[in-house]
Structure 1
């Protein structure tokens, strides 16, 4: 458990955790040794001169004071390590998730990462802040007490020591019972979390269908699954808890009977027997608490195990000696890429000279957006190479690569903050004048002027308080502010009304000026602004050339153009 925790923490937090574990262990040992002073105290009290107990009582009081200080320091250390570690792990998990390939993310990951970022990280903090100290005390203090008993009488010490292997076996048995249900319980919780998010996101659809007052069946089923899994997990703990109680009570009874026998036989005095029974009773309390602490630790371990698996997921590899591109032309050299069992690209080759515009056209699912993602290295090609300025993107530092690229997606996500904060994501150190200039070029200033609060207006989670066209203007302003030499556009006007489309096109023209551009086009009239057009279908470049050339050929692109014109006329 501790080894896994140290691995999850990493080197930065592992050293403070080791110090905390060492301090807690010393504290637990001192707690066990304190009870050794009971023997001379009781001997004196039952002897001819009870006043001889005073020096031992004073020593006991001093030891208690030292123990109290150590316990306070060790608990405080655990709390500090826990809270500091929680902040660091949030940052570490976020940085790691940001380096994972986009293909790692799927619908099932939403609930999983949501649970992990809350319960998983809190479990890691809880181990060091609340569980580690009691667990070490429950293990080390009874063993120290047994060692003290053995010093006074080896027979009683051996009798008490019998509890150790029995307790270990019981804990392992309980762990196996819990492990059988833990995976199912975690899966049910992840599914329920995903269903809750789905239920919230589906409110417009449910209300439009007149089902807002009904219970959401999928969510209901998921919650019932959580209930059943939780019940099974609780029942799996019960045999271990009962078994631990029986073992501790049986060993205590054995020590009591053996102590009585030795006292009646004259091998031990009444004071010694009473002292050892007190010690045995005191060691029983922490052992019994192992059932509750052990259950919580096993639950925390399961969360840590899932967190550890994510942290050990290999991100995209980085070059040992990264190369910085000096040009901004783009090239696909015999690129093959598969998504699951589907081949998206099969040895595709194309090039985009610096400063030119390439339009990518094709049917839905042909891989147009994937082409942009390969340029930005959201994925790595399975074979072949994607190059920027003649340098393979795998040889470029990821931060340097992203600094050269501005991306405008069809579906724009804005963070819950002000308009200005969302625009500044493009370049946080930009001056106010530069931010305003980018907004004007994207025609975002028109939106700012009519919003209450202006630049300080909050856009809501995901940009919910803005329309799709307004969110696109924020995205374009952000890209303009970044001022990157390469621009990737992913169907940015496909779902806009005519007014917003005109405004967005205006901003896009300013964004594309003088830059290397790759645009995925849904509306065919956007393609006319490109220097070259490629038509992608079935993992291949079906056609390539200028807009006019492809129309003259009368192939697939010409058919698409004709359908686009008919669709545009009907609109």
Structure 2
């Protein structure tokens, strides 16, 4: 497990881990050796002159004191190394997640990573702080005691030594038999967590459907599955636990019988037999704890394997010698992109001159949002080239590319904090006057004036304390503050009421002024602002031209326009 841990984190963490392991091993050896002094202590106490036990008692106390100091230092080292590894793991995981393509973050993947980044990382990293010392003690201390027993009486020491491979074999067998059950239980646990979240999120739908009293079938099923998985895991653990307990009990019984036989034959003194039996009894506790420690280690290793899988996911490659784009024109050349088994874009070629506006329309699933995502390099194309300023986006440094682009999504996510903090994400070093100007241009100032906290109003997690239109104004103000030369708009008004839609349109107009713009829209009134329009369907460009030209042609775009205007309450005559 330590090898995997160092592979996941990096070998720069190896020296402190090795020092901690050596320190813990030394502590376990000293603990075992301290029990060796019980033999001369008991021999003197049961002898003709019990006062002879005094120097051995002093020596025993001194060794125990050394052990206590070593135990304190080794435990402290374990906690410090564990904290360092925890910090390193969070840092590496965060840096890696920030480099992964946006397309990697599916809905299920986000929930999985959320659990992994919270309880998963803690469980994996707790192995060093909480499990390593007990594990080493459970293995090294009994072995040291066996060596001591061999030194005092080779027959009883040899009898105890026979138990070592038996205990090891039981642990290996138990671990292998429980791997599948543990993995199944962990998988069911993740599924149940997702169902609990789904149940909470589905409360409005359940209540609207009058099902507030009924049980949620999917959640019930997942909880039953985790109950069954837990039962299977417990049952699979029983043979190992019982086998280990019976082995320890059998060895102790053998030592008791052998010791009595040797004592009756006069080959060994009663004090020595009693001391060796005390040592054997001391071996039992750490050996019996191996089952519990093994289960916790398997859980930690399972989480570490999941972390390793995430960290092995390849991020989008960065150019060795990045090129800085000079202009802000956009171009797609024979672009093909496949998402899973579905061809989302197939042979798309188009260009947007610097400072012009392109509107992308079409039915749902046509590839409109994907076009924006390819421009921002959320994914890499499977074929063809996407260029910004005449340069392939794959040849542009990611930070440089994102500095050129401001994106306003339909679903706005705000970080928990104040309105000002969320606006400043566009450009953290902006002057206060620039922040206020961006807010005014986005008509966010109207929202701020009616909120009791003003700029200091907390937006809640995800912006939950603001309405959809208010969140969108924050997003537009953020994009205005960024002042990027390229603007990508993705359905920014499709879910807004008329008042907020009007305010957002005003902000969007200011945002688009003088910039290269690609806008995706379902509400066709926004298309009139574009210099050119492309109609996408099935990942292909079906029609292309200006708004007026496409209406005159009477093709797919004209039909789409009529339907849109009819649903909006008015029909525009085709000219």
For the aligned pair, the TM-score class normalised by the smaller chain equals over 0.9
Tell me what 1:261 maps to.
261
Query: After alignment, is 344-353 or 490-499 more displaced?
Result: 344-353
Match of 2:41 in 1: 41
Task: Tell me whether 1:85 sits opposite 2:94 in the alignment.
Answer: no
Residue in structure 1 matched with residue 167 of structure 2 by the alignment: 167
**Match in the other structure for 1:521:** 521
**Matched residue, 2:377:** 377
**Any residues of structure 2 matched to 1:437-452 within 5 Å, and which?**
437-452=437-452
Residues 1:285 and 2:312 are matched in the alignment = no
After superposition, give the CA deviation of every residue in 1:199-246 in whole Å (9 maximum; x if it has no partner).
222122122222223322211221122222112212221211111100
Q: 1:186: Cα distance to partner?
A: 1.9
Shift of 1:171: 1.4
**Secondary structure of the equivalent of 1:412?**
coil
Deviations 1:110-142 (CA, angstroms, capped at 9, x unpaired): 432232122211212321221111111101111
Residue 62 of structure 1: aligned partner: 62
1:443, CA displacement in angstroms? 0.5
CA deviations 1:81-101 (Å, max 9, x no partner) are 323433443333233223222
Report if the CA contact (8 A) 2:9-2:92 is conserved. no
CA distance in 1, matches of 2:106, 2:498: 33
| Alignment partners' CA distance in 1, 2:264 and 2:318 | 76
Q: Is the 8 A contact 1:111 1:192 kept in 2?
A: no
Which shows bigger deviation, 49-58 or 467-476?
49-58
**Equivalent position of 2:241 in the other structure:** 241
TM-score of the superposition, structure 1-length normalised? 0.96
Distance in 1 (alpha carbons) for counterparts of 2:432 and 2:212: 45
Normalising by structure 2, report the TM-score. 0.95
1:318 paired residue number? 318
Return 5+ residue gaps in structure 1 as ranges. Answer: none
Q: Which residue of 1 aligns with 2:227?
A: 227
Question: Aligned residue for 2:470?
Answer: 470
Name the CA distance, whole Å, in 2 between partners of 1:338 and 1:15. 45
Instruction: Give the deviation of 1:64 after TM superposition.
Output: 1.1
Q: Where does residue 211 of structure 1 map in the other structure?
A: 211
Q: Counterpart of 1:18 in 2: which secondary structure?
A: helix
Matched residue SS, 2:289: helix
Partner of 2:111: 111
- Distance in 2 (CA, whole Å) between partners of 1:502 and 1:468 is 13
CA contact (8 A) 2:534 2:544 kept: yes
- Confirm or deny: 8 A CA contact 1:359 1:519 kept in the other structure: yes
- Local SS of the residue matching 1:377: coil
C-alpha separation between the residues in 1 aligned to 2:385 and 2:148? 69
Residue 359 of structure 1 pairs with residue 359 of structure 2:
yes
CA contact (8 A) 2:355 2:516 kept: yes
Contact in 1 for aligned 2:359/2:527 (Cα 8 Å): yes
Is the CA contact 1:93–1:311 (under 8 Å) kept in the aligned structure 2? yes
Structure 2 SS opposite 1:487: strand
The range that moved more, 210-219 or 42-51, is 42-51
In the TM superposition, residue 398 of structure 1 has moved relative to its aligned partner by 1.9
1:276 maps to what in 2? 276
Give 1:49 deviation, angstroms.
4.1
Aligned-partner Cα distance in 1 for 2:92–2:378 = 19
Counterpart position of 1:304: 304
Q: CA deviation at 1:184?
A: 2.1
Q: In the alignment, which residue of structure 2 is the partner of 1:52? A: 52
Residue deviations 1:441-467, cap 9 Å, x none?
A: 100000000011111111122211211
Q: 1:533 Cα deviation (Å)?
A: 1.4
Instruction: Note the 1:548-559 alignment, pairs <5 A.
Output: 548-559=548-559
Equivalent residue for 2:433? 433
Alpha carbons of structure 1 residues 11 and 506: separation in structure 2 relative to 1, 3 Å: farther
Pairwise CA RMSD of aligned residues? 1.9
